[in-house]
Amino acid sequence: MIAIPAVDIRDGACVQLVGGSYAAERVRLPDPVAVARTWTDAGFTRLHVVDLDAATGRGSNERIVHDLLTSYDAGIQVGGGVRSPEAIERLLSAGAERVVLGTRAIEDPDWLHEMAMQFPGELVVAADVRDRRVVTHGWEKQHLRDVLDVIDELNESPLAAILVTAVHKEGQMRGTDLFLMERSAPSSGWRSTPARSIRAPSPESSPHEEERMSVVERETKETKIHVAATIGKGSGSSKTGIPFLDHMMVTLARYSGLDLEISATGDLTHHTLEDVAICVGAALERVVPATAARYAHRVVPMDDALVECALDIGGRPYYRGPLPSSLYDHWMRSFADNAKATVHVRVLRGRDRHHVVEAAFKALGLCLRDALADDGVVFSTKGSVALKVSP
């Protein structure tokens, strides 16, 4: 993997926008040249520079871009408002290693092909995406074209690379849209570069705090499921067509600290619930740190309900309930089997089934939060187990 820091310039400052919105700045640093120096001093040999004002027609930061190109030996690719061969030539002559094209490249394929033939291997096309649809004009105009169709067309030109930015994830510090990247990369005949928001390491950060992500998909005659899981901040998105299930999945994400992205379609409620549980469990099993705390126990009250949960995520699948809802009791069992987890849920009190089930998911979420904590120690007398199968 090659990491390329981005220096986005707006009003003469280095900024980071959240979700591609010019009304939402997460970061504003007054000196882009100093920011670039920070990255190069840290050992990065390439930079991605964007003139946001030029991209949106609000102005130009040409002087600052020129200062960056003449101040550093790093390979710099530059974009933002580049819509003519003269602009491409100026940037390359000033020292840009590559030039990033966006709006005109997407909206005028014939012009792009002509430019790619004139500057072969020196142009990068920015396929910026929001909800699978390509956006241009500094992320402000959304097109009806699917990004995979656009990438397929770009394969006709001799480009240096295709840059795919998940605008809806930009600046949120939650990683990229992994589901999108897994589909866009194989579609491209050129090097495909995902853009994402990451945190720079700090002296206080633990080596065990690296992001862990997993994507699981399941498609049968009955259902089609997609689940992405990350040990993150507890952000949940669930679109299954079953309102209470969506509520429980978002609740599970919030209380566990997992970032969950779930989408599902199915013929019957039972099939959808079961297959979502299978995929959530399988996704969780893949992100468990080798030195996770492993065990957890929580008791959660919710009005009349009081529910206890005990959990072991150490690779021993077992479930013991029951819950008063057969559907959600089955969800717990399917989850435990596929997460390779031992899950005990005991209803201590409760008359309202809604409250009991919700308390159970909150208790499970809190247990997951505790059990997934990376303590840096393998909690097993066996240590790390390696299984070798001889023919």
Which residues make beta-bridge pairs with 43? none
HSE value, Cβ hemisphere, 13 Å, CA-based, for 73:
2
| Residue 284 CB partners (closer than 8 Å, separation 6+) | 214, 229, 258, 313, 335, 339, 341, 368
Nearest by Cα to 184 from 146, 239, 215: 146
HSE value, Cβ hemisphere, 13 Å, CA-based, for 383:
2
Choosing from 8, 51, 370, 374, the catalytic residue is 8
Two structure tokens written together for 34: 């100093």
Catalytic residue list contains 108: no
CB-based burial label for 1 (10 Å; 0-12, 13-18, 19+) = exposed
What's the CA gap between 40 and 46, in Å, rounded? Answer: 8
Nearest by Cα to 215 from 229, 203, 201: 229
Catalytic residue list contains 67: no
Q: Is the N-terminal amide bond of 203 cis, ω within 30° of 0?
A: no
DSSP structure string for 362-382:
HHHHHHHHHHT-B-SS--STT
Two structure tokens written together for 326: 């057969």
Parallel, antiparallel, or unpaired for β 123-130 and 133-136? Answer: antiparallel
Choosing from 51, 53, 128, 374, the catalytic residue is 128
> Where does the chain show beta strands of DSSP type E?
6-10, 13-18, 21-29, 46-51, 75-79, 98-101, 123-130, 133-136, 141-146, 161-166, 192-195, 213-219, 223-231, 236-239, 258-266, 295-302, 305-312, 318-320, 342-349
* Residues classed as catalytic: 8, 128
